[in-house]
Amino acid sequence: MSEFRGVDFFDLDDLLSDEERAIRDAVREFVDRELLDNLTIEKHHREGTFPSHLVPLLGELGCLGVTLPEEYGCGGMNNVTYGLINQELERGDSGLRSFVSVQSSLCMFPIYTFGTEEQKRLYLARMAKGEVIGCFGLSEPDHGSDPSGMETKATPDGDGWILNGTKRWITNGSIADIAIVWAQTPDGIRGFIVPTDAPGFSAPLIPGKFSLRASVTSELVMEDVKIGPEALLPETGGLKSPLKCLTSARYGIVWGVIGSMMAVFDEALRYTKQRPQFGKPLAGFQLVQEKLVWMHTELTKAQLVALRMGRLKDEGKLKHYHVSFGKRNNCWAAREIAKLGRELLGANGICDEYQVMRHLMNLESVYTYEGTHDIHTLALGQHLTGHSAFRG
Amino acid sequence: MRVFVCVKPVPDTAARIKVGGDGKTIDPSGVKFILGPYDARTVAKALELKGEDGEVVVVSAGMGGKGESAANKRIKDALALGADRGIFIADEAPENRDPLAVAKALATAIQNEGGHDLVLCGRQAMDDQALAVGPMLATLLDLPCVTDAVSLEVSDGKAVVQRAAEGRVETIEVTLPALITGQRDLADERYPKLKDILKAKKKSVATFDFAWPAPAYEVVSLAPPPDPVAGKIVGEGPDAVPELLKLLQDEAKALTF
């Protein structure tokens, strides 16, 4: 396989520092060697299993908790670097990127942001090494886009709590050592660090997925789970706490799906240049070129959005509505590009010898999770008009 | 301990090699150059052995001029793995270098450093597979040489080396300083940590000027290996065996009775 060089129509590499480029290239090589060249991802996608042997390697490399401070054993790097790492991981597979998003943005980030010093010292360094795996329990079977209606309850019990409820669509759920669980309390929604071996806690896999097959997706079932006072993340309060985590994770997705787009575009371009029909390569036909140009244009625009968002985030100026814009636009573009990529590969596009269909199926989840396309439309609509259209 | 590790950028083993327009060199476009698997492991071993006050110095020769050459990048790879500093020997015409010229350049650069306890090379470069530079370098530096090491331990000024020979493993003790060439089993291959990639950017890579001799040999032509001869199906099941035996005996001359 010749080297994957990325797509860079507007010389965006010139806007990256040497360090940002070097780290991107290192993760690119890691993904080539550990996931793509040796067909690891095809195997896991086919079997519906997560390549968990890569977790310690991701930790050793330094892909977990990239933006959190070095004093807690984390990366201490900027948000553009975190974005580029997500991009490269998702060029491999959305499942691998999802693992890293959940571990970093949805578990390590809330422990760092809302936790006590003891909680940070207890978990962050081990999570950065991949020794402790986390999952994030917000969505419920009956509350997806509407998390404020959550039914999971934390009832005060002495100086601790008793948890009851069910969470669903939880990435890493069945392999996690700890769950960041959001629950209703007498003081509103609060977050807890719940050990997954606590009595009454179970995390069955959700079977039969067509999407994110190389990722663990579970339910979390909590029946009278007793947790101590040390489980509470003390600085959490209200729905804005989990939404802050999601804004951080969604930022990573904005970059991640660029990786999917690149993988699909690269494969479609190579394929159509090589495959002759009617006596010349497919790439020489107008209808094929129109699709390739559309894919390339949307990919390039998505890159510009992500990079601007990254610089804003590093300057502390990125707002949640910027993130809604990026998540909405880039996931939509990635899904459309994957559909076109599949078309361009014809019948071959449906086989796992090629990547397009795997990315297309993964992107159905990515388009929907962490705020659906429509929910982000409403968030932006509210930002523009001042009117909330979420209810009735 | 001061350990020198000599490395060479080689095309990725998965790369599709094409002959260049001059018919004498490979076309580097689209080919990814890497720190070869033997070299990466010698770097890892050197780091293991250097000790607290030790130093690992990476040496490589390659195309000079503007921008980062493949050799310079591979030095950075080794620095990201943890090596302390690098020496880059600029070469305007690396495609014309015979192994002896490369060995002389490496020897001169290493001697210029004024002392070495151990010099490590990969057993071979994955691309031209000459297996020559290591032993030649040992001769030029007047060092004992052990090739094909699969394990290496150092104590009290001596190295104990296990080397893979045909059908056996030899254990050799050698007095330091010495030159050892390493097999794949010498150490585990590691990924550089992202943080160490950033640190590597700040480590020193000195350029060493070497007066390259006129080429002693010349690549006259380069051609891809011949296409494999198409196979022949002589039949199916037990009925095909007599014909197969006949062809193996008479045509392929692979069997004699």
How many interface pairs between A and B have CB atoms less than 8 angstroms apart?
Answer: 49
In angstroms, the separation between the Cα of residue B227 and the nearest Cα of chain A is 19
Q: What percent of chain B has pLDDT over 70?
A: 97
Q: Residue B32: which of A3, A23, A60 has the nearest Cβ?
A: A3
Q: And the tokens for B232?
A: 């022949």
Q: Is residue B221 part of a domain?
A: no
Q: Is residue B214 part of a domain?
A: no
Q: Are residues A46 and A162 in the same domain?
A: no
Contact: B30, A30; criterion CB under 8 Å:
no
CATH number of the domain enclosing A192? 2.40.110.10
3-state secondary structure of A347: helix
Model confidence at B130, pLDDT cuts 50, 70, 90, reads: confident
Of B112, B110, B116, B157, which Cα lies nearest the Cα of B133?
Answer: B110
CB atoms within 10 A of CB B20: 13
Q: And the tokens for B110?
A: 């290493």
**Confidence at residue A170, expressed as pLDDT on a 0 to 100 scale:** 98
Q: Are residues B160 and B255 in the same domain?
A: no
Average pLDDT over residues A317-338: 98
Rounded Cα gap, residues B61 and B73, in angstroms = 11
Rounded Cα gap, residues A185 and A179, in angstroms = 17
Amino acid letter for position A52: S
Q: Residue A2: which of B30, B190, B192 has the nearest Cβ?
A: B30
**Partner residues linked to B151 by β-bridges:** B162
**Confidence at residue A381, expressed as pLDDT on a 0 to 100 scale:** 97
Q: Are residues B87 and B8 in the same domain?
A: yes
CATH number of the domain enclosing B141? 3.40.50.620
State the helix-helix crossing angle for A320-344 and A373-385, rounded to 10 degrees. 140
Contact: B194, A18; criterion CB under 8 Å:
no
Q: Are residues A209 and A272 in the same domain?
A: no
B108-119 pLDDT tens trace: 999 999 999 999
Rounded Cα gap, residues A153 and B192, in angstroms = 45
Q: Is residue A2 part of a domain?
A: no
Contact: B191, A37; criterion CB under 8 Å:
no
Position B222 pLDDT exceeds 60: yes
Of A337, A339, A319, A340, which Cα lies nearest the Cα of A329?
Answer: A337
**Partner residues linked to A136 by β-bridges:** A180
Rounded Cα gap, residues A259 and A359, in angstroms = 10
Rounded Cα gap, residues B139 and A51, in angstroms = 48
A77 CB neighbours in chain B (<8 A) are 194
Contact: A22, B198; criterion CB under 8 Å:
yes
B194 CB neighbours in chain A (<8 A) are 23, 26-27, 61-63, 66, 75, 77, 85
In angstroms, the separation between the Cα of residue A55 and the nearest Cα of chain B is 14
Of B100, B122, B137, B98, which Cα lies nearest the Cα of B189?
Answer: B122
Q: Residue B199's closest chain A neighbor by CA?
A: A19
**Least reliable range by pLDDT among A15-24, A191-200, A356-365:** A15-24
CB atoms within 10 A of CB A372: 16
Position B68 pLDDT exceeds 70: no
Contact: A3, B30; criterion CB under 8 Å:
yes
Q: Is residue A391 part of a domain?
A: no
In angstroms, the separation between the Cα of residue B182 and the nearest Cα of chain A is 22
Rounded Cα gap, residues A193 and A204, in angstroms = 19
Rounded Cα gap, residues B103 and A275, in angstroms = 46
Cα separation of the two ends of chain A: 53
Rounded Cα gap, residues A207 and A216, in angstroms = 10
Q: Are residues A261 and A376 in the same domain?
A: yes
**Least reliable range by pLDDT among A164-178, B63-77, B200-214, B233-247:** B63-77
Q: Is residue A6 part of a domain?
A: no
Average pLDDT over residues A151-167: 98
Backbone angles phi, psi at B9, to 5 degrees: -75, 130
Q: Is residue A207 part of a domain?
A: yes
Position B206 pLDDT exceeds 90: yes
The tally of domains found in chain A comes to 3
Find where tokens 């003390």 sit: A234
Q: Residue A1: which of B14, B191, B197 has the nearest Cβ?
A: B14
**Least reliable range by pLDDT among A36-50, A111-125, B120-134:** B120-134
**Confidence at residue B153, expressed as pLDDT on a 0 to 100 scale:** 96
Q: What percent of chain A has pLDDT over 90?
A: 96
Q: Are residues A119 and A146 in the same domain?
A: no
B16 CB neighbours in chain A (<8 A) are 2
Q: Is residue A390 part of a domain?
A: no
Q: Residue A284 carries which DSSP code? A: G
Model confidence at B15, pLDDT cuts 50, 70, 90, reads: confident
**In A192-239, alpha helices (H):** none
Q: Is residue B167 part of a domain?
A: yes
Q: Residue A61: which of B14, B15, B191 has the nearest Cβ?
A: B191
Q: Are residues A246 and A367 in the same domain?
A: yes
CATH number of the domain enclosing A84? 1.10.540.10
pTM summary value: 0.83
**Confidence at residue B66, expressed as pLDDT on a 0 to 100 scale:** 47
Q: Are residues B143 and B241 in the same domain?
A: no
Q: Are residues B22 and B101 in the same domain?
A: yes
Task: Say which residues have a Cβ less than 8 Å from residue A277's Cβ, sequence separation at least 6.
Answer: A285
Q: Are residues B244 and B196 in the same domain?
A: no
Q: A288, A344 in Cβ contact below 8 A?
A: yes
Q: Is residue B213 part of a domain?
A: no
Task: Say which residues have a Cβ less than 8 Å from residue A242's Cβ, sequence separation at least 6.
Answer: A110, A136, A138, A147, A182, A189, A191, A236
**Confidence at residue A38, expressed as pLDDT on a 0 to 100 scale:** 87
Q: Residue A61's closest chain B neighbor by CA?
A: B193
Q: Is residue B34 part of a domain?
A: yes
Per the prediction, chain A carries an average pLDDT of 96
A1 CB neighbours in chain B (<8 A) are 14-15
**Confidence at residue B233, expressed as pLDDT on a 0 to 100 scale:** 86
Find where tokens 């962050």 sit: A124
Q: Are residues A25 and A63 in the same domain?
A: yes
In angstroms, the separation between the Cα of residue A223 and the nearest Cα of chain B is 41
Q: Are residues B152 and B28 in the same domain?
A: yes
Q: Are residues B99 and B29 in the same domain?
A: yes
Q: How far is CA A326 from the centre of its chain?
A: 13
CATH number of the domain enclosing A249? 1.20.140.10
Q: What share of chain A is helix, strand, coil (3-state, %, to 5)?
A: 55, 15, 30
Q: Are residues A246 and A363 in the same domain?
A: yes
Average pLDDT over residues A39-49: 96
Q: Is residue B224 part of a domain?
A: no
Among B194, B196, B205, which would you mutate to test the A interface (most chain A Cβ atoms within 10 Å of its Cβ)? B194
Return the sign of the alpha-carbon dihedral for residues A125, A128, A133, A135: positive
**Least reliable range by pLDDT among A128-137, A312-321, B78-87, B233-242:** B233-242
Task: Say which residues have a Cβ less than 8 Å from residue A223's Cβ, sequence separation at least 6.
Answer: A164, A200
**In chain A, alpha helices (H):** 18-31, 40-47, 54-61, 79-92, 94-101, 109-114, 117-128, 240-274, 286-314, 320-344, 356-368, 373-385
Among B72, B190, B198, B201, which would you mutate to test the A interface (most chain A Cβ atoms within 10 Å of its Cβ)? B198
Q: A162, A174 in Cβ contact below 8 A?
A: no
Q: Is residue B225 part of a domain?
A: no
Rounded Cα gap, residues B183 and A315, in angstroms = 49
State the helix-helix crossing angle for A79-92 and A240-274, rounded to 10 degrees. 50
Q: Are residues A92 and A150 in the same domain?
A: no
**Partner residues linked to A205 by β-bridges:** A218
ipTM exceeding the 0.90 mark = no
In angstroms, the separation between the Cα of residue A28 and the nearest Cα of chain B is 12
Give the end of a domain, one of A128, A143, A173.
Answer: A128
Q: Are residues B138 and B185 in the same domain?
A: yes
Position B94 pLDDT exceeds 80: no
Pairing mode, strands B178-182 and B118-122: parallel
Q: Are residues A182 and A89 in the same domain?
A: no
Q: Are residues A37 and A166 in the same domain?
A: no
Query: What's the full length of chain B, in residues?
Result: 257
Q: Are residues B51 and B116 in the same domain?
A: yes
B32 CB neighbours in chain A (<8 A) are 2-3
Q: Is residue B172 part of a domain?
A: yes
Q: Is residue A37 part of a domain?
A: yes
Rounded Cα gap, residues A119 and A55, in angstroms = 22
Query: What's the full length of chain A, in residues?
Result: 392
The tally of domains found in chain B comes to 2
Rounded Cα gap, residues B3 and B20, in angstroms = 37
Return the sign of the alpha-carbon dihedral for residues B45, B49, B50, B53: positive
Task: Say which residues have a Cβ less than 8 Å from residue A139's Cβ, sequence separation at least 6.
Answer: A147, A167, A168, A169, A170
Q: Are residues B74 and B185 in the same domain?
A: yes
Task: Name the more confident of B125 and A27.
Answer: A27
Give the end of a domain, one of A109, A128, A147.
Answer: A128
Rounded Cα gap, residues A110 and B227, in angstroms = 59
Q: Is residue A65 part of a domain?
A: yes
**Confidence at residue A392, expressed as pLDDT on a 0 to 100 scale:** 65
Q: Are residues A244 and A224 in the same domain?
A: no
The residue segments making up the domain with residue B175 are: 2-208
Position B73 pLDDT exceeds 90: no
**Confidence at residue B224, expressed as pLDDT on a 0 to 100 scale:** 86
Average pLDDT over residues B5-27: 85
Chain A interface, Cβ < 8 Å to B: 1-3, 18-19, 22-23, 26-27, 30, 37, 57, 60-63, 66, 70, 75-77, 85
Position A1 pLDDT exceeds 60: no
Q: Residue A129's closest chain B neighbor by CA?
A: B193
Give the end of a domain, one of A113, A128, A143.
Answer: A128
**Confidence at residue B30, expressed as pLDDT on a 0 to 100 scale:** 72
Q: Is residue A252 part of a domain?
A: yes
Q: Are residues A258 and A310 in the same domain?
A: yes
Rounded Cα gap, residues A281 and B41, in angstroms = 43
In angstroms, the separation between the Cα of residue A154 and the nearest Cα of chain B is 40
Q: And the tokens for A69?
A: 């401070």
The residue segments making up the domain with residue A42 are: 12-128
Whether A370 is catalytic is yes
Contact: B31, A26; criterion CB under 8 Å:
no
Q: Are residues B143 and B189 in the same domain?
A: yes
Position B131 pLDDT exceeds 60: yes
